[in-house]
A and B are shown apart, each in its own frame.
Chain A
């Protein structure tokens, strides 16, 4: 047996303070809400005490952003770009520190925060820095909207921050951002980076807290633009609360993506794509390939290969460089994953997990595959947001497309075939914002991202991502 010895990344690169305040007008200030703690989900140890922003605190942040908007929006694009490039470079320089902190607070494997999250975060700032002085060529006007209120989830804390802040700042807006309550630390380190980059005070404000703080940001009358990434449930509340206020809104919500594998697919790579689709980031991915649709003629063979492959996944310490599956982000999320998985069993699907030692402390869920899943089962319809794959089969391309689209969501999809004509035929018919061809969960700042139906509206990333932060065109409905 070739056993890999522990290879932990050092925690010494991060300096976690005992407590953190809010970042308002370029400075860290106390919050007037009841402070809360953030923990390491892999060990349940407390990492730090975090200030909670009350409605009054949020108001101060919005005022600071409003004040900063006057100068920031009037600054030439090339000047704003300098700040964004500077932030991007500092992120690269401090990427190891940010990656370790992200893994500590979120539970994701260091291999992913190091090799996926952080490079994409820096790339996003570089990309939008490039747009700042070229807005007139983007086709959405050059006038910023004002103050953006942004609320982001816990699955990719720093990456979602980058998706929100980079385009907003490039277009000349200022922001008040609320990170998720379970993963505030990298956003607070980002606040330090804003100071290090000499970003003018008030351009970026970070308010920490739970749902109430988020509601205060979204409902503040002086917020001109709301951007939210998170659950469809909260997205609905936000859409309702901003209706009729004139605020521009983009929502990036849940998904139940189909990963379609045709019989002529490159099987070994399809298996990798399935694994990457649903077990990447413990399945805490809104665009996760949570429904595998496999053509019946290869279903048995593919499942054998998939199960063999899952046997090699390494679950454990997120800071170990060889870990593939880290911790579930919170006890609440773990309970939800358990509840839905149990429902899958009760509804008659067959549950399978590889032999896999679960650590004693922390929140963990083994990679899980359900076979014999029907379209009517909850595990085929509801977003689990965990490392749980539902396997369905199909006989014809028509049936694959029908089943793939038969969901209230429409964020992403994957298609695996070596036949280009079938690939294009399928992609044309899928109602999903992103369709990956012979790959899954690949991101690039130049590529727009967003959903159909209950997966939300608006696009982030690419040239399209500028539209949400410019006043030049009327808000558009879901496409």
Chain B
């Protein structure tokens, strides 16, 4: 996997690279994201967007109170989001804590739904590299297809980019064949310049996906932050020849929110990322709203919330 990674000899050289990236003007980025948010997606386009969004969902439960039963229920929902309608696509993945990976793997076996596990002392990332690698190895050993790691935001904000970089390289190595999503926790990075730098840092270190947030910090997946990350993967493909996926997570609650994300992808990176292999929505509550809107499109009527399962 080392071929994926660009090597840097010192923190200074990595810092030089990251600070040499073009800046982000906040006012302009916010305005662009807001403008794309006004796109009006109706009728056939809306139907297409809803199904695409469902197929991109990483259905997630990351609570201290998670139990095997809760995970099994979520997996059932992931495979058949609307039990009354087999046309509804399955979601992309379920996302759980490492100790519940085995349960999830068992539950979704053969369905095509992937199992993702958070790792690396999620959500704060405040532990030793040794613990983070072990955490990752446990998840992978239990059968996780994907690992969602968190970066060390403290080290990043302190300017110790090489530490963050080397951790990602080490976790990537521990992932083996599992895909690595690197959570930037953009809500803690404070500036759009930092979001761009962290995106590049994660891509240079070998991340397969860059992900906005843990879902435990606000703000999470805002439109401008997702826009900046999409620009980063677009530019990284052009300059480094490797395609990296994007996963906004946290705060995507309605069909409208999800469709705005798809518009952002469509008009920033284009078609190439409109695929669950390259774009995911980290969310859980959005799924029922997508199902409700889908049914409204089919029948012309809204059903009450009790017609959609709570899992």
Contacts and interface: CB of A to CB of B under 8 A. Distances in A.
Most B-side CB within 10 Å, residue of A2, A267, A312, A439: A2
A451 interface: no
A322 B39 contact: yes
A261 to B, nearest CB: 11
B199 to A, nearest CB: 13
B65 interface: no
Given A321-B39, A438-B27, 5 more contacts: A2-B266, A7-B42, A265-B23, A266-B22, A322-B39
Contacts of A3: 45, 48
A268 B231 contact: yes
B83 to A, nearest CB: 28
B42 to A, nearest CB: 5
Contacts of A264: 22-23
Interface in B14-60: 22-25, 27-29, 31-32, 38-46, 48-49, 52
Contacts of A273: 28
Nearest to A1: B271
Interface string B264-295: 00110001001000000000000000000000
Interface string A1-37: 1111111000000000000000000000000000000
Interface in A249-292: 264-269, 272-273
A7 B41 contact: yes
Chain A contact surface mostly: loop
A4 B41 contact: yes
Q: 6 closest Cβ contacts across the A-B interface?
A: A269-B28, A7-B40, A321-B40, A266-B25, A269-B25, A5-B45
B262 interface: yes
A8 to B, nearest CB: 9
A7 B40 CA distance: 6
Given A2-B45, A2-B52, A268 B39 contact: no
B28 A322 contact: no
Most B-side CB within 10 Å, residue of A111, A115, A322: A322
Interface of B: 22-25, 27-29, 31-32, 38-46, 48-49, 52, 231, 262, 266-267, 271, 274
9 contacts: A1-B271, A7-B41, A115-B38, A265-B22, A265-B23, A267-B22, A268-B231, A272-B32, A418-B23
Contacts of A268: 22, 24, 28-29, 32, 231
A401 B299 CA distance: 62
A5 B48 CA distance: 10
A267 B44 CA distance: 35
B34 to A, nearest CB: 10
A269 B48 contact: no
Contacts of B40: 4, 7, 321-322
Contacts of B22: 264-268
Contact of B28 (A5, A266, A312): A266
B29 A269 contact: yes
A272 B27 CA distance: 11
A2 B28 contact: no
B42 A5 contact: yes
A7 B29 CA distance: 25
Most B-side CB within 10 Å, residue of A6, A265, A266, A418: A266
A469 B47 CA distance: 55
Interface string A371-395: 0000000000000000000000000
Interface in A304-363: 312, 321-322
A439 B26 CA distance: 11
Given A272-B31, A438-B27, A439-B27, A2 B42 contact: no
Contacts of B266: 2
B143 to A, nearest CB: 33
Contacts of A2: 45, 48-49, 52, 262, 266, 271, 274
Contact of A266 (B23, B45, B46, B48): B23
A264 B19 CA distance: 11
A320 B32 CA distance: 19
Contacts of A111: 38
Most B-side CB within 10 Å, residue of A6, A268, A321: A268
A303 to B, nearest CB: 14
A273 B231 CA distance: 16
Interface string A112-153: 000100000000000000000000000000000000000000
Contacts of B27: 269, 438-439
A266 B231 CA distance: 12
Nearest to B43: A5
A351 B32 CA distance: 27
B224 to A, nearest CB: 11
Nearest to A269: B28
A438 B25 contact: yes
B308 to A, nearest CB: 25
A374 to B, nearest CB: 28
A416 to B, nearest CB: 8
Contacts of A272: 28, 31-32
Contact of B39 (A4, A265, A266): A4
Interface string A99-114: 0000000000001000
Nearest to B49: A2
Interface string A426-441: 0000000000001100
Nearest to A7: B40
Contacts of A312: 267
A270 to B, nearest CB: 8
Contacts of A1: 271
